[in-house]
């Protein structure tokens, strides 16, 4: 019988160090991944909570009702208190202000529409006055007040903003 002598191979001292270093790096990487996942999860949860709140607010949103009747409501049986507005399409415009005739005509149609909404049902050119509230600023924007004759013995002031944009003057009529 033969005998084999097996001699143990001595371990190298550096391999144990490398193994411990690799295990340490893996633990640090796993800890960082867990930390990043936790932080990301927290912010995702916060977004989820905010989205839920927004959905609840949207579902509970109610459209407000108008406090008065619509001026053009033809189904209202009481036509005396809700007359159909009369618009002036004659082409006459109130005199005054800083705008040219074409811009004043456009503004006059806008004033008539806003007037009908706000109870000035038959605005007329006669007796309507225009006064400049603010001269044009650096952008060319100016303000005027049109005191409109409502045609029933009353008048209403309307504030208009004239804004030049690319060679055209836009007119904005504020609700009184």
Question: pLDDT tens for residues 20-79?
Answer: 889 999 999 999 999 999 999 999 999 898 988 888 887 877 766 655 555 555 555 554
Give CA–CA dist 138/28, Å, rounded.
63
- What pLDDT band is residue 159 in, cutting at 50, 70 and 90? very high
pLDDT at 5 over 80: no
- What pLDDT band is residue 83 in, cutting at 50, 70 and 90? low
In the block, tokens 């504030």 appear at 159
pTM equals: 0.52
> Do residues 133 and 159 touch, judged by C-beta distance below 8 A?
yes
**Which backbone phi and psi does 126 adopt, to 5 degrees?**
-65, 125
- What pLDDT band is residue 150 in, cutting at 50, 70 and 90? confident
Q: What is the pLDDT of residue 34?
A: 93
- Which whole number is the average pLDDT over 1-8? 62
User: pLDDT > 70: what percent of the chain?
Assistant: 77
Q: How many degrees, rounded to 5, is the angle at CA 163 between CA 161 and CA 168?
A: 130
Which DSSP string do the residues of the chain spell out, in sequence order? -------PPPPPHHHHHHHHHHHHHHHHHHHHHHHHHHHHHHHHHHHHHHHHHHHHHHHT--PPPPSS--TT-TT-S-TTTSPPP----SS-----SSS-HHHHHHHHHHHHHHHHHTT--S-EEEEEEEEEEE---TTS-EEEEEEEE-SSS-EEEEEEEEEEETTEEEEEE---
- What pLDDT band is residue 160 in, cutting at 50, 70 and 90? very high
Give CA–CA dist 34/30, Å, rounded.
6
């Amino acid at each position: 019988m033969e005998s084999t002598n097996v001699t143990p191979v001595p371990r190298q001292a550096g391999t144990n160090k490398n193994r411990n270093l690799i295990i340490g790096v893996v633990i640090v990487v796993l800890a960082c991944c867990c930390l990043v996942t936790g932080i990301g999860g927290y912010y995702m949860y916060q977004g989820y909570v905010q989205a839920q709140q927004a959905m609840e607010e949207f579902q509970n949103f109610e459209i407000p009702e108008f406090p008065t009747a619509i001026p053009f409501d033809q189904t209202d049986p009481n036509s005396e208190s809700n007359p159909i507005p009369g618009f002036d399409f004659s082409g006459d415009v109130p005199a005054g202000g800083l705008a040219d005739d074409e811009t004043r005509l456009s503004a006059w149609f806008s004033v008539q529409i806003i007037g009908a909404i706000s109870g000035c049902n038959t605005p007329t050119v006669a007796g309507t006055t225009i006064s400049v509230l603010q001269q044009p600023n650096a952008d060319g924007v100016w303000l005027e007040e049109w005191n409109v004759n409502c045609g029933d013995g009353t008048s209403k002031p309307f504030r208009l903003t004239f804004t030049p944009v690319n060679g055209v003057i836009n007119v904005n009529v504020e609700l009184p």
